[in-house]
């Protein structure tokens, strides 16, 4: 069942805004067993919207269109669509009532620009007429055109609760689509490519995809078929083939991310953690606390961005800083240990490094970082070198530090340093 997505807005084709709506809709449709054949973004432009719509009518069974439904002058989707489909624009009473209720609650007056939102192409059916937000559907040449607002939250709510169920109910024979994503860190792209090649003769109809997702690498497995349990078990079989070769690098699968995977592990083992961050500035704590319920295992940390704060807060010795420098094995170990002054956690994690663009030298270039982890009486540390801009280096340091926690709990060796 092929459909496509059209997103409308000058902000999209000028690069001012990232098109999150298209991605969300594409992901939801694909996960539901529907196929997206094309995503097109055009500006608030009569000719381009009209051309794109005609093209979509030629080859798709349904089209999700977002944007251009608001009150401002550049919101012209209804008008353009009416012209493109040779339909009149009509004042829709149901839509007008809905808008009136909505704005009255906010104490806003009905102006012509707000009323404009109720002028819809003839034959439009309103989706979710009782709710605060809504879209509409037009059937043209047997193709269903769904018009949704460009505001991401509204678009998502309407897509998930109204549009997707409707499309799925119309097309009963949607094949079951199984998909999984394996997320890896610490393995080179060409190793993954070689692994995929090595198992190629055994993967059957499962389609493998490989996508770098800095600093992670993701492998996708997908398969469609009529028999859902068979699809699921076939994907599992191929996942096992991959795990046989790359298991230590796989930190999560599906929608789980690194911090959720670690949170799960810490909860399972009843372990707690605290962090001492230098170059990452708080990013590790931020990531750990993105997980709801993380207060069960994350107790807090310090951001010791200056030498003075390393001494004052977590007792890094002045002598250590003078002799070895703030970015050194000795310092990171003292940081991890110093945290214990405040945090009675099972694990303490510390990082110190040079995120750049300045501050590097011949012995410790930009991207040099030390990671330290203390657990009971044990303390581990390692030096790494990362590449990229400041944001990438901070991100990769935080990922490597979190990967240390995962590997420590699993009893796997840490990724070797330099």
Q: Report the site for a second copy in 359-388 (rule: CB under 8 A).
A: none
Are residues 392 and 214 in contact, defined by beta-carbon separation less than 8 angstroms?
Answer: yes
Instruction: For residue 8, state whether it binds a second copy (rule: CB under 8 A).
Output: no
Question: If you write DSSP's letter for every residue of 44-73 in order, what string do you get?
Answer: S-HHHHHHHHHHHHHH-SEEEEES--SSST
CA angle 211, 3, 159 (to 5 degrees): 85
119-158 positions binding a second copy, by CB under 8 A: 151
Name the minimum Å distance from CB 46 to a second copy: 12
Name the minimum Å distance from CB 93 to a second copy: 24
User: Residues 219-246, buried b or exposed e (16+ Cβ, 10 A)?
Assistant: bebbbeeeeeeebeebbeebbebbeebb
Name the minimum Å distance from CB 302 to a second copy: 5
Instruction: For residue 236, state whether it binds a second copy (rule: CB under 8 A).
Output: no
336-355 positions binding a second copy, by CB under 8 A: 342-343, 355
Nearer to a second copy, 94 or 289 (CB): 289
Dihedral-angle region of residue 376 (phi above 0 means left; psi in -120 to 50 means alpha; beta otherwise): left
Instruction: For residue 72, state whether it binds a second copy (rule: CB under 8 A).
Output: yes
86-115 positions binding a second copy, by CB under 8 A: 106, 108
- Applying CB under 8 A, which part among 84-92, 261-269, 290-298, 399-407 lies near a second copy? 290-298
Dist. CA 27–CA 21, nearest whole Å: 10
154-213 positions binding a second copy, by CB under 8 A: 181, 190, 193, 196, 209-213
Dist. CA 322–CA 333, nearest whole Å: 15
Dist. CA 2–CA 104, nearest whole Å: 41
| Coil/strand/helix, residue 274 | strand
Q: Which two tokens stand for residue 334?
A: 């003292």
- Applying CB under 8 A, which part among 29-37, 82-90, 93-101, 372-380 lies near a second copy? 29-37
265-284 positions binding a second copy, by CB under 8 A: 274-275, 277, 279-284
Q: Which two tokens stand for residue 115?
A: 């009323």
385-404 positions binding a second copy, by CB under 8 A: 390-391, 394
Residue of 191, 203, 265, 309 interacting with a second copy (CB under 8 A)? 309
Instruction: For residue 75, state whether it binds a second copy (rule: CB under 8 A).
Output: no
Q: Which two tokens stand for residue 161?
A: 């609760």
């Amino acid at each position: 069942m092929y459909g496509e997505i059209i997103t409308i807005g000058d902000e999209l084709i000028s690069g001012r805004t990232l098109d999150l709506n298209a991605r969300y809709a594409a992901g939801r449709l694909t996960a539901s067993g529907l196929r997206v054949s094309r995503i097109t973004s055009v500006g608030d432009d009569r000719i381009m919207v009209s051309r794109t719509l005609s093209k979509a009518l030629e080859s798709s069974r349904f089209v999700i269109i977002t944007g251009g439904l608001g009150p401002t002058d550049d919101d012209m989707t209804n008008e353009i669509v009416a012209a493109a489909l040779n339909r009149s624009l009509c004042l829709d009473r149901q839509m007008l009532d809905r808008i009136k209720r909505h704005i009255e609650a906010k104490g806003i007056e009905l102006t012509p620009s707000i009323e404009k939102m109720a002028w819809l192409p003839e034959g439009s059916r309103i989706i979710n007429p009782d709710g605060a937000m809504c879209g509409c559907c037009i059937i043209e040449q047997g193709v269903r055109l769904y018009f949704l607002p460009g505001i991401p939250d509204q678009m998502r709510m309407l897509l998930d609760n109204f549009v997707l169920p409707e499309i799925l109910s119309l097309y009963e024979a949607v094949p079951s689509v199984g998909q999984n994503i394996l997320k890896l860190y610490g393995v080179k792209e060409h190793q993954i490519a070689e692994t995929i090649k090595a198992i190629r003769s055994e993967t059957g109809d499962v389609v493998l995809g490989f996508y770098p997702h800095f600093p992670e690498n993701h492998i996708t497995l997908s398969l469609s078929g009529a028999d859902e349990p068979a699809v699921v078990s076939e994907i599992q079989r191929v996942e096992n083939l991959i795990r046989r070769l790359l298991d230590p690098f796989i930190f999560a699968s599906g929608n789980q991310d690194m911090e959720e995977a670690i949170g799960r592990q810490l909860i399972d083992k009843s372990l707690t953690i605290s962090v001492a961050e230098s170059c990452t500035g708080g990013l590790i704590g931020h990531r750990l606390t993105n997980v709801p319920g993380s207060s069960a295992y994350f107790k807090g940390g310090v951001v010791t961005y200056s030498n003075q704060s390393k001494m004052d807060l977590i007792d890094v010795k002045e002598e250590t800083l003078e002799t070895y420098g703030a970015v050194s094995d000795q310092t990171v170990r003292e940081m991890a240990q110093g945290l214990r002054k405040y945090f009675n956690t099972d694990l303490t994690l510390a990082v110190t490094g040079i995120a750049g663009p300045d501050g590097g030298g011949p012995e410790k270039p930009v991207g040099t970082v030390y990671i330290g982890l203390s657990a009971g009486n044990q303390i581990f540390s390692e030096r790494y070198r990362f590449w990229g801009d400041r944001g990438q280096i901070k991100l990769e340091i935080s990922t490597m530090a979190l990967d240390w926690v995962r590997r420590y709990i699993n009893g796997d060796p840490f990724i070797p340093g330099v």
